[in-house]
Amino acid sequence: MAVKEKKFPENVRGNYYVDDQCIACGLCREIAPENFGTLEETDCSFVKKQPVSDQEIDACLEALESCPVEAIGQDGEA
């Protein structure tokens, strides 16, 4: 389960975030490329854009549920 206090500082403010458990598999970026980006130094993911449309929300939820290490959280700052 993702931990709010361990999220990457590059995440944009909002409900979704990626924390330091990320293993840089890139699955979330494949599922929701509009919302997840790559950190250059580590290839880990971060939330570059919070979801706004129903399609983006569904994609972010799918990414959260598909993350192999549960590094995506949904309880960040609104």
Which element (helix H / strand E) includes 39?
A: none
- What's the pLDDT tens digit per position in 18-37? 999 999 999 999 999 999 99
Strand partners, 17: 73
Average pLDDT over residues 8-24: 98
> Hey, where are the domains in the chain?
4-73
Per-residue pLDDT tens over the stretch 63-73: 999 999 999 99
Q: What percent of the chain has pLDDT over 90?
A: 96
* Other Cβ atoms closer than 10 A to 68: 9
State which CATH number among 1.10.287.3510, 3.40.50.720, 3.30.70.20, 1.10.10.10 fits the domain covering 4-73: 3.30.70.20
Record the pTM.
Answer: 0.95
Query: Quick one: pLDDT band at residue 78, thresholds 50, 70, 90?
Result: low
**AA letter at 49:** K
